[in-house]
């Protein structure tokens, strides 16, 4: 299947992963300067499943509070930004629970990698771009959404790319480009647009392997690119164990923090993923 045929299927919404309405609304609220805690509370409470997961997480040892009875209290205790990111995390974990057609693709490894990248992107954002830290978290969470489409519609081809990547010890996007002339990032860019993600998130999804091609959001895409490499280095390899990942010089320059700080970011990634698995009761 070529990219044009995939784009047609995406445009027709054929058997697509569904982004919960609560997530779309929460991301829109993040861009609304007049939105307040009560607006966020109303949006989340429209989705009982997400509400239940938010409350379970908020009452876990991960957040250190045993008494968060409702979403309003969760927002007061955790803050609007943290709750927004938590909504994206729990919804995304639910979306990746169902198996696709690939035999090799492990959804849990995919989710762990996505969460690690989101964590790293948020840290980089707080250091360099605090006002966009939570949007960077969401971009990190979504950066590999193209795999959801490949797993759904091109399972056999995805298996081949994974096998070749492991055999040749090369990143999977290079094998994808060789085998079918597009990558999961290209497909992810189409899905991010279909879902109505913010332009910055769309760009990060599409260009995170090639940020120098991003003419509009180069710096923030570099943050996602750096977080992606750091996640692989930390052991969250997204189904491709044993492949060496290195930070590109132009990415390091754009991120603008000393190399020695990356060790601490990798450590935090590991801690956050383990805590999140405990909070969400994921084995």
Contact in structure between 122 and 231 (CB atoms under 8 Å)? no
Cα(238)–Cα(85) distance, rounded to whole angstroms? 21
pLDDT value at position 85?
81
- Bin 2: left if φ > 0, else alpha if -120 < ψ < 50, else beta: beta
pLDDT value at position 283?
53
pLDDT value at position 267?
95
Cα(44)–Cα(283) distance, rounded to whole angstroms? 26
pLDDT value at position 136?
93
Question: Residue 12 carries which DSSP code?
Answer: T
Half-sphere exposure of 241 (CA within 13 A, CB side): 4
Question: How many C-beta atoms lie closer than 10 Å to residue 148's C-beta?
Answer: 24
Cα(113)–Cα(39) distance, rounded to whole angstroms? 31
pLDDT value at position 261?
93
Q: Looking at the chain, how many residues does it have?
A: 283
Contact in structure between 270 and 235 (CB atoms under 8 Å)? yes
In the structure encoding, which two tokens stand for residue 38, read together? 């009560």
Cα three-residue angle 225-272-254, rounded to 5 degrees: 25
Question: How many C-beta atoms lie closer than 10 Å to residue 164's C-beta?
Answer: 16
Cα(283)–Cα(199) distance, rounded to whole angstroms? 34
Q: What is the mean pLDDT of each run of 10 residues along the chain (283 residues)?
A: 85 72 78 85 87 83 76 88 82 75 91 93 94 89 93 94 95 95 96 88 97 97 98 94 93 94 94 78 58
Cα(93)–Cα(88) distance, rounded to whole angstroms? 8
Q: Domains (ranges, CATH) in the chain? A: 3-279 (1.10.3210.10)
Alpha helices in 46-132 (DSSP H): 48-58, 71-78, 80-95, 107-128
Q: What contacts 38, CB < 8 A, 6 or more positions away?
A: 72
- Bin 261: left if φ > 0, else alpha if -120 < ψ < 50, else beta: alpha
Half-sphere exposure of 18 (CA within 13 A, CB side): 5
In the structure encoding, which two tokens stand for residue 144, read together? 């590999």
Minimal CA–CA distance to 172: which of 155, 189, 148, 147? 147
pLDDT value at position 172?
95
pLDDT value at position 274?
85
């Amino acid at each position: 299947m070529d990219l044009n045929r995939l784009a047609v299927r995406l445009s027709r919404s054929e058997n697509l992963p569904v982004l919960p309405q609560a997530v779309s609304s929460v991301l829109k609220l993040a861009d609304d300067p007049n939105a307040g805690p009560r607006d966020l509370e109303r949006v989340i409470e429209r989705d009982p499943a997400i509400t239940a997961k938010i409350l379970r997480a908020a009452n876990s040892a991960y957040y250190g509070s045993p008494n968060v009875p409702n979403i309003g209290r969760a927002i007061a205790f955790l803050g609007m930004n943290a709750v927004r990111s938590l909504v994206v995390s729990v919804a995304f974990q639910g979306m990746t629970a169902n198996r696709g057609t690939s035999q090799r693709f492990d959804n849990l490894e995919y989710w762990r990698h996505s969460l690690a990248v989101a964590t790293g992107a948020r840290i980089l954002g707080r250091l360099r771009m605090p006002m966009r830290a939570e949007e960077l978290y969401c971009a990190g969470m979504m950066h590999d959404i193209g795999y959801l489409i490949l797993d759904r519609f091109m399972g056999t081809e995805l298996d081949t790319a994974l096998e070749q990547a492991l055999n040749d010890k090369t990143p999977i996007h290079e094998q994808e480009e060789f085998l079918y002339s597009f990558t999961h990032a290209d497909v992810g860019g189409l899905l991010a647009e279909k879902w109505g993600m913010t332009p910055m998130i769309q760009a990060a999804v599409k260009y995170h392997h090639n940020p120098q091609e991003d003419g509009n959001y180069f710096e923030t895409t570099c943050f996602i690119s750096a977080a992606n490499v750091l996640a692989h280095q930390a052991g969250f390899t997204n189904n491709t164990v044993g492949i060496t990942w290195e930070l590109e010089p132009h990415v390091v320059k754009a991120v603008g923090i000393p190399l020695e700080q990356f060790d601490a970011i990798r450590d935090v990634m590991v801690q956050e993923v383990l805590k999140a698995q405990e909070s969400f009761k994921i084995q």
